[in-house]
């Protein structure tokens, strides 16, 4: 079942490449159809999902792959991966719908995005480090071509920069994986087995510090590391669907690596470095918010709010490492909040990037100063953008609130000083309100004159993402019921 979900888009991508005579409209609709079928399959998996025992996986599949190094094709879902798999399928479907109006080589674009969908889904279900790495590296290759082929500005340069940074990060990751492999007895790359073995537990702390931090570094994908986030922000000079996928899905690979690999496999190292992670998290929350506030370019502003939002996740997983008596529940809440935030941020940021893409599409600029009073000619656009902005700043009734509320409840209970990150929420609120005011209110002027409102493909791509965020915000229970058992398990493991 999972194999089908992962490889269906890839098969479709190959078919699209192999059929050059296919017309552009057919290619676009084929993409939508495949993405929809894939989402339907994910819904079926979700419906039949039963929480596996701690340390286990549901819908597990395993086949020999490289027996010589104990690496197998091992996939499965648990409370962390299932929500991200679902989010990935939703975002890619939204992108497919949004791209129905794409005129620039739609067939190749569809193939490339289907390929990216396959590798993203594969990464989230991988239960083997090498499989994880393979999908991770392929996502970089795929994204390189998305940026180089459909970006704007000096796209060759930003694509190359993105590729080099993330490739460098991925090799650091691989070195860490090999370290884990060598440290485990018997040597293995299997994630559940490594989790059970906690390979570096008995080693001196220095050794752990060196090898232990690597798995927490799934490369430049993780934008709260200071240098790569600049690359991430620059890489956003690209078409809307590319940004939506990068920010919505690919950025989650890094934070997913934390909860899937770093926390459970390296509990001692994680505890030793918890404060570092927390500080990085708090700094990126505040720094990301402040830099976003200084932007006049809508797209860059959204890119930097991603830095801010991913900071909350780092804060929460860092807090999970502060093991002390009576804090188990608080830490569980923090981890649950972190995973909820991954899903929530994916949905909301993808929606915002797709909306920002509309500005570029209509008027050719993202500059806030070039617009004004846009609400009059484009009321639907204004409404959806406002909804997205409020969801992003963490207004109650949206998924962002559920996530950030849990993160702060958990983190502040463990370490009260983390409350300073609340400033980030305030700044985010300010910057979104300022952006809304500047672009949508006042007298209609500049590029706002003659601005065409959202077309149906745009409404139907952005709308469902925001609607889903609203549904999670109002009825969070189904999502939290899936995540919480996994959080309990991982907090247990960190406490080892």
Partner 1 sequence: MDAEMRMRPLLLLPEMLLFVGGLGALICGSFVPRQRQWLIRVLTAVVLIAAMTAAAVQLAGPAQRAFEGTYTIDTATGVARILAAFGTLLVLALAAEEIAGSARESETYALLLFATTGTVVLAGADDLLVLAAGFLLASIPLYGLIGLVNTTAGAEAAMKTYLMGALFGIVLLLGVTVLSGVTGTTMYEELEEGLARAPAAAVAVATVGVVAGLMFKAGGVPAHFWIPDVAQGSSATVATFLTTVPKIGALIAVYRLVGVLPDTASWPLLVALFAVASMTLGNLAAYWQNDPRRLLGWSTVSQVGFLLVPIVVTGRSNLALPSLLAYLAGYTVTNIAAFAIVAALPDRRNLAGYRGLATQRPWLAAALLVALLGLVGTPPAAVFVGKLTTAAAAWDGGYSWLAVVVFVNTVLSLFYYLRWIVPTYRHADADADADAGAAAQILGRRRCPRAPLSSRLRSASPRVSPPGPSGTWSASIRNRGAASTFFRCTGN
Binding site for partner 1 (CB under 8 A): 66, 68-69, 130, 133-134, 137-138, 141, 145, 148-149, 154, 156-157, 160-161, 163-164, 167-168, 171-172, 174-175, 178-179, 181-182, 187
Q: Which is nearer to partner 1, 41 or 178 (CB)?
A: 178
Give min distance, CB of 477 to partner 1, in A: 39
Q: Token digits for 247?
A: 């920010």
Give min distance, CB of 69 to partner 1, in A: 6
Q: Which is nearer to partner 1, 118 or 295 (CB)?
A: 118
Give dist(CA 188, CA 318) in Å, integer. 27
- Distance of alpha carbon 286 from the chain centroid: 20
Give min distance, CB of 243 to partner 1, in A: 21
Q: How far is CA 146 from CA 34, 110, 234, 240, in A?
A: 19, 10, 14, 11
Give min distance, CB of 23 to partner 1, in A: 18
Give min distance, CB of 72 to partner 1, in A: 14
Give min distance, CB of 189 to partner 1, in A: 9
Q: Which is nearer to partner 1, 211 or 490 (CB)?
A: 211
Q: Which is nearer to partner 1, 190 or 458 (CB)?
A: 190
Q: Which is nearer to partner 1, 164 or 423 (CB)?
A: 164
Q: Which is nearer to partner 1, 164 or 413 (CB)?
A: 164
Give min distance, CB of 236 to partner 1, in A: 18
Q: Which is nearer to partner 1, 168 or 209 (CB)?
A: 168
């Amino acid at each position: 079942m999972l194999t089908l979900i992962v490889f269906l888009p890839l098969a479709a991508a190959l078919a699209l490449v192999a059929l050059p005579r296919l017309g552009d409209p057919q290619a676009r609709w084929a993409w939508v159809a495949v993405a929809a079928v894939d989402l339907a399959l994910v819904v079926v998996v979700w419906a039949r999902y039963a929480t596996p025992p701690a340390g286990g996986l549901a819908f597990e599949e395993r086949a020999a792959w490289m027996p010589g190094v104990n690496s197998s094709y091992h996939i499965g879902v648990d409370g962390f991966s299932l929500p991200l798999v679902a989010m990935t399928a939703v975002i890619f479907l939204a992108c497919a719908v949004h791209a129905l109006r794409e005129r620039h080589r739609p067939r190749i674009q569809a193939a490339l995005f289907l390929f990216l969908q396959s590798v993203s889904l594969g990464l989230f279900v991988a239960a083997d480090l090498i499989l994880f790495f393979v999908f991770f590296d392929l996502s970089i290759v795929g994204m390189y071509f998305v940026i180089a082929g459909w970006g704007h500005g000096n796209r060759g340069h930003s694509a190359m920069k993105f590729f080099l940074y993330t490739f460098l990060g991925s090799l650091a990751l691989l070195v860490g994986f090999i370290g884990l492999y060598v440290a485990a007895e018997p040597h293995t790359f299997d994630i559940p087995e490594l989790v059970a073995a906690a390979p570096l537990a008995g080693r001196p702390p220095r050794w752990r510090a060196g090898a232990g931090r690597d798995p927490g570094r799934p490369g430049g994908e993780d934008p709260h590391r200071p240098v790569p986030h600049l690359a991430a922000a620059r890489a956003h000079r690209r078409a809307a669907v590319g940004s939506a996928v990068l920010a919505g899905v690919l950025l989650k690979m890094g934070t997913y690596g934390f909860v899937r690999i770093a926390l459970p496999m390296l509990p001692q190292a994680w505890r030793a470095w918890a404060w570092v992670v927390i500080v990085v998290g708090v700094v990126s929350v505040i720094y990301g918010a402040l830099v976003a506030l200084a932007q006049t370019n809508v797209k860059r502003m959204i890119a930097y709010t991603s830095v801010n939002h991913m900071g909350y996740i780092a804060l929460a997983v860092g807090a999970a490492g502060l093991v002390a008596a009576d804090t188990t529940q608080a830490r569980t809440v923090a981890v649950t909040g972190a995973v909820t935030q991954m899903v929530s941020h994916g949905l909301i940021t993808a929606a915002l990037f797709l909306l920002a893409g509309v500005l570029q599409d209509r008027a050719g600029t993202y500059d806030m100063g070039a617009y004004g009073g846009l609400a009059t000619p484009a009321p639907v656009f204004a409404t959806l953008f406002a909804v997205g902005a409020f969801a992003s700043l963490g207004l109650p009734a949206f998924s962002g609130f559920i996530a950030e509320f849990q993160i702060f409840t958990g983190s502040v209970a463990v370490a009260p000083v983390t409350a300073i990150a609340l400033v980030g929420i305030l700044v985010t609120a300010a910057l979104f309100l300022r952006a809304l005011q500047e672009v949508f209110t006042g007298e209609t002027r500049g590029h706002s004159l003659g601005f065409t409102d959202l077309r149906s493909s745009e409404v139907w791509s952005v709308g469902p993402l925001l609607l889903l965020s609203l549904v999670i915000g109002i009825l969070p229970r189904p999502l939290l019921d899936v995540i919480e058992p996994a959080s309990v398990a991982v907090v247990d493991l960190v406490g080892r």
